[in-house]
Amino acid sequence: DETGKAHMVDVGAKPDTVRTAVARGEVILQPETVDLIRQGLAKKGDVLTVAQIAGIQAAKRTAELIPLCHPIPIHHIEVDLEPDDELPGVRIQARLRTTGKTGIEMEALTAVSVAALTVYDMVKAVDKTGRIDRIRLVEKRGGTSGDVVNE
């Protein structure tokens, strides 16, 4: 606020608009680990499906995780994970949509972050060099501040 204290921003007077956000990130892994993931042979199970569900679940709980984040209705969540031999690793993208008074960027970033953490957790026993990298907002649309495209 005006005195420097943390507070939740009042968005009550803002108009409802359609808002979308896209976030991306990567988990860098050994090529052998990418092969395990692709073949579905990780000891903990299907890494890509579990991480996808974790990302969706996390997006829906963002306001519980980020202290001053508004709880918002989410109309659509898409979390995609793709093994990539050129990284090598797994590329993650989250695309979310809502209609409301505030943006959905934090939900997209949270989806990617938790999906990446899930990939890491599921392979850490076989790949001690794994690292989560480049989590970022690549696009946001809607709202009074307009559209932003970072990639």
**Side-chain half-sphere of 108: how many Cα atoms within 13 Å?**
26
Beta bridge partner(s), residue 51: none
Instruction: Characterise 149 by phi-psi region: left (phi > 0), alpha (psi -120 to 50), beta (else).
Output: beta
Annotated catalytic residue within 121, 127, 133, 147: 121
User: Is 133 designated active site?
Assistant: no
**In angstroms, rounded to a whole number, what is the distance separating the alpha carbons of residues 87 and 66?**
30
CB atoms within 10 A of CB 59: 27
Contact 20, 97 (CB under 8 A): yes
Residues 6+ apart with CB under 8 A from 23: 93, 94, 105, 108, 109, 111, 112, 135, 136, 137, 138
**In angstroms, rounded to a whole number, what is the distance separating the alpha carbons of residues 51 and 9?**
31
**Which residues are marked as active site?**
121
